[in-house]
Amino acid sequence: MRILIANDDGIYSPGLRALADVARRFGEVRIVAPDVEQSSMGHAITHSRPLTIRATAIGDHAAFRVNGTPADCVTVGVADWGNVDVVLSGINLGTNLGNSIWHSGTLAAAKQAPLLGLRGIALSSPTADDPPDFAALTPWIDQVLDLLIMHDRCPLVNVNFPTVPRGMRWTRQSVRHYDGRVVPGHDPRGRPHFWITTVPLEPPEEGTDRWAVEQGWISLTPLRLDLTDETALAEAERRNPT
């Protein structure tokens, strides 16, 4: 079992190390991660310049840093290592729930796996002022990987941990609406700038990823790459046959 581990927080993230330390119980682990933080980069890829892959000391793990995006790391890592069975991404410092899947670099690294015909698992944890207590989460990380690597065969799963888990739940993606708030301000030289932020407008729907984490469950959401809206397609074909 070859397990490639990427992330979007960068190769020196404590979440990446915590994930690799648990994942090695399930197979041979190799870390291939961005050399600097790439959070909220989404599924960007680098095609206008070559990428480098350089060995880096992360404990006693085989680890390499890449000067590219999260998705780049998976593409280059799989090509360089070969015969990869599953790609893990994370553990992100911050949850990736609901609509954040659209811009998450953590999800993008996991999504790159099914694009290459492999299984992908994204893992994220909440952050407040302090980093998550990964030592306390370790038994839960072990349970999640045992389920998703050894027993279930979902091609792509989005995993989110609460601060103190009470168990695991299969969930759907929350699609509650955001207020795309833009907060204007001024830099130290007096020039105007803008901070982009999002505020949820609606409470989470029961059975969704956001609901589960708020209730203290580890959320496991199987995802698909086909974004086709089947209902809208059927209605459009009925209204305006082509």
Binding site for Mn ion (CB under 5 A): 8-9, 39, 92
Distance of CA 189 to the CA centre of its chain: 36
Least distance from C-beta 241 to Mn ion, angstroms? Answer: 45
> SS3 for 182?
strand
CB-wise, 39 or 174, nearer to Mn ion?
Answer: 39
We find the least distance from the C-beta atom of residue 128 to Mn ion, in angstroms, to be 15
CB atoms within 10 A of CB 1: 13
Tell me the C-alpha to C-alpha distance, in Å, between residue 125 and each of 39, 94, 158, 163: 14, 5, 11, 7
Which lies closer to Mn ion via its Cβ, residue 26 or residue 209? 209
Least distance (Å) between residue 41 CB and Mn ion: 9
Minimum CB distance to Mn ion, residue 9 (Å): 4
Please enumerate in sequence order all residues whose Cβ is within 8 A of that of 89, keeping only pairs 6 or more positions apart, or say none. Answer: 5, 6, 7, 8, 70, 74, 106, 107, 109, 110, 120, 121, 122, 123
Q: Are 168 and 144 in contact (CB under 8 A)?
A: yes
Q: Which is nearer to Mn ion, 130 or 229 (CB)?
A: 130
DSSP conformation class of 149: I
Smallest gap from residue 93 Cβ to Mn ion (A):
6
> Closest residue (Cβ) to Mn ion?
39
Taking the least distance from each CB to Mn ion, the nearer of 16 and 144 is 16
What letter would DSSP give residue 202?
Answer: S
Tokens of residue 139, six digits: 């038994």
**CB of 9 or CB of 209, closer to Mn ion:** 9
Task: Read off φ and ψ for residue 106, nearest 5 degrees.
Answer: -60, -45
Q: Which C-beta is closer to Mn ion: that of 109 or that of 220?
A: 109
In the complex, least distance from residue 143 CB atom to Mn ion, rounded to whole angstroms: 23
Closer of 122 and 144 to Mn ion (Cβ): 122
Q: How far apart are CA 221 and CA 169, in angstroms?
A: 9
How far apart are CB 102 and Mn ion at their closest, in Å?
14
Place of tokens 């553990």: 91
Residues 6+ apart with CB under 8 A from 130: none
